[in-house]
């Protein structure tokens, strides 16, 4: 089992020591997280690591998962899409089903807590049934809600307004709510299978298995094959680079099974890559964390040419591996990359191609950027920062109305 002391070598004694001091000042508290899946997706990924660490810090922390049927997940998927701005209609009967499933789950939950952190819309309704079972209710929204669909947001807003606080990942996601809203950045775990250090042999084994030769510099984009990640734009950029400089492109990711346009996007990618031996398209399963880690570590330059992005944790992962990243100036990517410092922001396939060429011809600049990017990720976007933010948040909620509290 990973322990907090394992992080000392990565973030320093001072950071781990702060977590213990904050937790001690807060005192023993019962802290419950509720989400809708035990595995798959970024929320489950970070909870599976954060919950044991919070327990090590002396907080009695529990992770509960709401159970649902296909109709329930259909409606919550619609919520998700609507919050991201899609024009979605949900029938009244499905909305009632959403409430019913939450009621059923509430009957099974017997825990009592000082704090409950409810992740995303799926379990949000629980507060209606369980208000008295926890002193402080916090809604944690991981979704880009900068331009939500109004009808669905109004439905959820009524529920979320009952909470004592909300937490968003970016300031632009904050909403008109009658309670304090806080900002906690997403994070990655440097000791997870996706991010831990790999030996050169481990990296080579994965490359051999995926039949990737290291005969030319590797340009990589890891992401689902969906239109928002603009894989076709990546290929356009690559073709522009190839006219001048030898390199190869690896596009690695899963199929977007919940995106009706997913298969079409993949077909477009295959069409765009056709006849180009230096483009490799890899369809990886969702749990191919080790492979993704090895690919990122083998790459010379990592791209994230999304047209829309919530926060862009794939950028954080690449930065943590000390790689120069070229990514679109959208969403949380803007917060992570600064030109010539921690990476390059671009706005078009031409811009992307230009920056790839720039870095291929300046390996010393690429190395310097990668180094700065790694330090930046270390300082701001590792799981220890999330733990620190949780502890700070809980301390603040126990002292409502104070902007500065001394423990």
* Contact residues: another protein, CB under 8 A: 14-15, 18, 21-22, 25, 146, 168, 170-177, 180-183, 185, 330-331, 334-335, 338, 341-342, 372, 375-376, 380, 388-389, 391-393, 395-396, 402-407
Distance CA 304, CA 253 (A): 12
Q: How far is the CB of 79 from another protein (least distance, A)?
A: 20
Distance CA 51, CA 169 (A): 19
State which residue, 208 or 375, has the beta carbon closest to another protein. Answer: 375
Structure-token pair, residue 116: 């409950």
The C-alpha torsion from 29 through 33 and 34 to 37, rounded to 10°, is -150
Burial class for 108, CB neighbours closer than 10 Å (0-12, 13-18, 19+):
exposed
State which residue, 72 or 139, has the beta carbon closest to another protein. Answer: 139
State which residue, 48 or 181, has the beta carbon closest to another protein. Answer: 181
Q: How far is the CB of 31 from another protein (least distance, A)?
A: 16
State which residue, 238 or 311, has the beta carbon closest to another protein. Answer: 311
State which residue, 185 or 242, has the beta carbon closest to another protein. Answer: 185
Q: How far is the CB of 78 from another protein (least distance, A)?
A: 24
State which residue, 25 or 286, has the beta carbon closest to another protein. Answer: 25
Distance CA 151, CA 155 (A): 7
With CA atoms as reference, report the closest residue to 163 among 320, 406, 393.
Answer: 393
Q: How far is the CB of 398 from another protein (least distance, A)?
A: 10
Q: How far is the CB of 81 from another protein (least distance, A)?
A: 19
Q: Count CA atoms closer than 13 A to 205's CA, side-chain side.
A: 8
Q: Tokens 């949900």 label which residue?
A: 90
State which residue, 171 or 286, has the beta carbon closest to another protein. Answer: 171
Q: Which long-range contacts (CB under 8 A, 24 or more apart) does 267-275 make?
A: 268/231, 268/232, 269/225, 269/231, 269/232, 269/235, 272/231, 272/232, 272/235, 272/236, 273/235
Q: How far is the CB of 341 from another protein (least distance, A)?
A: 6
Q: How far is the CB of 393 from another protein (least distance, A)?
A: 6
Q: How far is the CB of 22 from another protein (least distance, A)?
A: 7
Q: Count CA atoms closer than 13 A to 233's CA, side-chain side.
A: 19
With CA atoms as reference, report the closest residue to 118 among 75, 163, 76, 158.
Answer: 163
Q: Count CA atoms closer than 13 A to 298's CA, side-chain side.
A: 30
State which residue, 303 or 330, has the beta carbon closest to another protein. Answer: 330
Structure-token pair, residue 227: 């239109």
H or E segment to which residue 53 belongs: helix 42-56
């Amino acid at each position: 089992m990973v322990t907090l002391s394992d992080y000392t070598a990565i973030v320093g004694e001072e950071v781990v020591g702060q977590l213990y001091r904050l937790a001690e000042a807060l005192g023993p508290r019962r802290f419950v997280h509720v989400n809708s899946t035990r595995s798959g997706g970024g929320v489950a990924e970070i909870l599976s690591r954060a919950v044991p660490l919070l327990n090590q810090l002396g907080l009695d922390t529990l992770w509960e998962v709401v159970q649902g049927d296909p109709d329930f997940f259909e409606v919550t998927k619609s919520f998700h899409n609507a919050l991201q701005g899609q024009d979605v209609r949900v029938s009244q009967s499905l909305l009632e089903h959403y409430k019913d499933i939450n009621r059923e789950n509430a009957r099974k939950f017997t825990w009592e807590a000082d704090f409950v952190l409810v992740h995303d819309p799926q379990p949000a309704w629980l507060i209606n049934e369980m208000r008295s079972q926890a002193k402080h209710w916090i809604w944690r929204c991981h979704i880009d809600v900068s331009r939500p669909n109004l009808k669905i947001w109004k439905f959820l807003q009524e529920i979320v307004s009952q909470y004592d606080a909300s937490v968003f990942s970016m300031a632009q996601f904050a909403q008109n709510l009658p309670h304090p809203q806080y900002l906690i950045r997403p994070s990655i775990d440097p000791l997870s299978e996706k991010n831990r250090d790999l030996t050169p042999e481990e990296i080579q084994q994965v490359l051999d298995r995926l039949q990737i030769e290291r005969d030319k510099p590797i340009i990589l984009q890891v992401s689902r094959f969906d239109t928002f990640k603009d894989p076709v734009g990546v290929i356009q950029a690559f073709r522009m680079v190839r006219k001048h400089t030898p390199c190869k492109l690896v596009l690695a990711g899963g199929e977007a099974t919940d995106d009706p346009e997913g298969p079409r996007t993949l077909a477009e990618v295959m069409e765009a890559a056709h006849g180009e031996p230096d483009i490799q398209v890899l369809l990886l399963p969702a749990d191919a964390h080790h492979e993704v880690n090895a690919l990122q570590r083998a790459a010379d330059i990592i791209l994230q040419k999304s047209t829309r992005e919530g926060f862009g944790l794939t950028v954080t992962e690449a930065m943590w591996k000390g790689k120069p990243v070229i990514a679109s100036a959208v969403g949380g990517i803007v917060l992570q990359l600064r030109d010539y410092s921690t990476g390059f922001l671009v706005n078009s396939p031409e811009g992307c191609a230009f920056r790839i060429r720039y870095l291929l011809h300046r390996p010393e600049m690429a190395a310097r950027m990668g180094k700065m990017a790694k330090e930046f990720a270390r300082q701001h976007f590792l799981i220890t920062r999330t733990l620190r933010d949780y502890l700070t948040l809980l301390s603040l909620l126990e002292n409502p109305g104070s902007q500065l509290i001394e423990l």
